[in-house]
């Protein structure tokens, strides 16, 4: 039988010691699904020649595609390339282009390339090199015995772009999936509904015959929703995809942050640029996270004027003109204080919008009245200032993330011409009734 399907092999002693949770495998399998390729097996082995070789030989018998991550580094432990070469009887050949690329990488660091690193430019004869602009370890593709073998680095920041930009197109092309046109997929980033709510209230959109499938993936605090549509031809698959998207837009409304993987801060940044607006933030419980997220986007200096992390009451008074009687009367975690913080930061910086967070991230600091997870969000623009209270139900780190995303979302909704999200948000237990 001709091989079909795919396996994913990750290599590294640290994985087998359990020091790392291996998320590369789930990423790689998700990617393969976009090409309608199902993963039949995940395997992890140590940096051990015989173990690796056993898996390589089994894969060459059973599957059409083998994705490998790990073991391409410069250290003595890293033996993936030489084991692939030896298993399939290919000599190792040094690739001059790859040597140059690694040298350039070190030049930029102002460092000499070591002999260890030169080893990373050796590939099995006949392999196609996959350049790695994000690190020293290039990957490679080897086509053996009807099986496509892709070797990629284990570091996610290097693996992810290599898979998406270089491996996916090669699989499409080699397997002739690219012009099959039978699968159309679309990813949606959503914010504001839990995975179980989405799963339950959108279940009717999946079709038993597999012509439309919905998949969910949590990327806290967002939920990624993947729609896969299949058809006899491209037009049919596309029609099914589009009609499902129409229904999803109706049901989810502004909870759809992007019809892609694009993050909230990037979507918001684009909107601010387009509308030529600026923002300043006053952060208490988020401590700088809103500013950090905004500045994850290159070019954010065009719209992010200033962030102030005011942890103490003194700082709130000094920096944001929050009156002391407001703090005394309502407490630092209160809507009047949040509103004044937003107003204060907007006025002091001259930004179009002021956003403020004050809350109880936990685990300490909660009271009966204002339990851990309370967030008061302040919002201010030329037209109005207002505040609203939300409740979050997670640990400190995730409460901060959630609070910062609610802050960003409030501005995104403003720019969409909507108001602040409802106070049940982001805990809504049900989607709005279908239209």
Residues 221-260 that bind its own copies (CB under 8 A): 224, 226
- Min CB(144)–its own copies separation in Å: 22
| Nearest-approach distance from CB 237 to its own copies, in angstroms | 17
33 forms part of the interface with its own copies (CB under 8 A): yes
Q: How far apart are CA 319 and CA 331, in angstroms?
A: 17
Give the CA dihedral 252, 253, 259, 265, nearest 10 degrees. -110
Among 131, 299, 323, 419, binds its own copies (CB under 8 A): 299
Question: CB of 287: closest distance to its own copies in angstroms?
Answer: 3
To the nearest 10 degrees (0 to 180), the angle between helices 49-62 and 80-87 is 50
CA 340 – CA 319 distance, rounded (Å): 11
Q: How many CB atoms lie within 10 A of CB 368?
A: 5
Q: Is 374 helix (H, G, I), strand (E, B) or coil?
A: strand
Q: Tokens 């001059």 map to which residue?
A: 96
* By CB under 8 A, residue 214 contacts its own copies: no
Q: Which range binds its own copies by CB under 8 A, 12-20, 64-72, 232-240, 380-388?
A: 12-20
Q: Shortest distance, CB of residue 187 to its own copies, whole angstroms?
A: 9
**The binder of its own copies chosen from 1, 2, 89, 110 (CB under 8 A):** 110
Count interface residues toward its own copies (CB under 8 A).
104
Does residue 263 touch its own copies according to CB under 8 A? no
Task: Please say whether the beta carbons of 413 and 405 come within 8 A.
Answer: no
* Backbone torsions φ then ψ of 335, nearest 5 degrees: -65, -40
User: How many angstroms separate the Cα of 128 from the Cα of each of 60, 82, 215, 306, 331?
Assistant: 18, 15, 33, 47, 64
**Which residues, 6 or more positions from 61, have their beta carbon under 8 angstroms from its beta carbon?**
3
**223 phi, psi to nearest 5 deg:** -120, 125
111 binds its own copies (CB under 8 A): yes
Q: How far is the CB of 105 from its own copies (least distance, A)?
A: 8
Residue 416: C-alpha distances to residues 191, 283, 420 (Å): 15, 23, 11
Residue 277 in the binding site for its own copies (CB under 8 A): no
> Of these, 49, 118, 205, 315, which contacts its own copies (CB under 8 A)?
315
> If binding is defined by CB under 8 A, does position 38 make contact with its own copies?
yes
> Is residue 262 at the binding interface for its own copies, with CB under 8 A as the rule?
no
Q: Is 216 exposed, middle or buried (0-12, 13-18, 19+ CB in 10 A)?
A: middle
Are 234 and 189 within 8 A, CB to CB? no
> Which one of 56, 202, 266, 309 is in contact with its own copies (CB under 8 A)?
309
Q: How far is the CB of 311 from its own copies (least distance, A)?
A: 5
Binding flag, residue 46, its own copies (CB under 8 A): yes
Verify binding: residue 42, its own copies, rule CB under 8 A: yes
Binding its own copies (rule: CB under 8 A), the pick from 91, 169, 363, 419 is 363
Among 304, 353, 390, 425, binds its own copies (CB under 8 A): 304
Nearest-approach distance from CB 124 to its own copies, in angstroms: 23
Smallest gap from Cβ 432 to its own copies, in A, equals 17
Would you call 92 exposed, middle or buried from its count of C-beta atoms within 10 A (0-12, 13-18, 19+)? middle
Site for its own copies in 135-164 (CB under 8 A): 155, 157
């Amino acid at each position: 039988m001709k091989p079909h399907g795919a396996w994913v092999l990750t290599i590294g002693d640290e994985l087998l010691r359990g020091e790392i949770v291996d998320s590369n495998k789930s990423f790689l399998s998700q990617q393969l699904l976009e090409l309608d390729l199902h993963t039949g097996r995940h395997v992890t082995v140590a940096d051990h020649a015989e173990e690796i070789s056993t898996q390589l030989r089994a894969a060459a018998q059973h599957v059409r595609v083998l994705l490998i991550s790990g073991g391409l580094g410069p250290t003595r432990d890293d033996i993936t390339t030489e084991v692939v070469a030896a298993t399939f009887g290919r000599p190792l050949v040094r690739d001059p282009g790859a040597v140059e690329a690694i040298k350039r990488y070190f030049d930029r660091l102002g460092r000499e390339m070591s002999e260890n690193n030169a080893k990373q430019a050796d590939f099995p004869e006949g392999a196609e090199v996959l350049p790695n602009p994000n690190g020293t370890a290039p990957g490679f593709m080897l086509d053996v015995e009807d099986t496509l073998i892709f070797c990629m680095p284990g570091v996610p920041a290097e693996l992810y772009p290599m898979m998406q930009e270089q491996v996916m197109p090669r699989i499409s092309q080699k397997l002739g999936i690219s012009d099959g046109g039978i699968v159309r997929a679309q990813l949606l980033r959503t914010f504001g509904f839990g995975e179980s709510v989405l799963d339950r209230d959108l279940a009717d959109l999946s079709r038993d015959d597999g012509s439309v499938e919905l998949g969910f993936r949590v990327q806290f605090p967002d939920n990624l929703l993947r729609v896969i549509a299949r058809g006899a031809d491209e037009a049919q698959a596309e029609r099914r995809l589009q009609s499902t998207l129409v229904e999803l837009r109706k049901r989810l409304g502004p909870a759809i942050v992007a019809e892609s993987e694009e993050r909230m801060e990037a979507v918001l940044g684009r909107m601010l640029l387009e509308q030529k607006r600026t923002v300043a933030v006053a952060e208490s419980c988020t401590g700088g996270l809103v500013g950090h997220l905004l500045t994850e986007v290159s070019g954010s200096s065009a719209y992010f004027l200033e962030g102030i992390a005011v942890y103490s009451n003194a700082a709130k008074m000094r920096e944001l003109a929050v009156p002391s009687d407001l703090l005394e009367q309502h407490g630092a975690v209160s809507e009047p204080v949040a509103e004044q913080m937003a107003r204060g930061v907007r006025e002091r910086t001259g930004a179009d919008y002021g956003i403020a967070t004050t809350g109880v991230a936990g685990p300490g600091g909660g009271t009966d009245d204002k339990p851990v997870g309370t967030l008061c969000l302040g919002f201010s623009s030329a037209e109005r200032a207002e505040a609203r209270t939300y409740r979050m139900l997670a640990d400190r780190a995730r409460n901060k993330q959630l609070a910062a995303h609610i802050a960003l979302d409030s501005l995104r909704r403003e720019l969409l011409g909507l108001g602040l999200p409802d106070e049940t948000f982001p805990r809504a237990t049900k989607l709005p009734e279908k239209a």
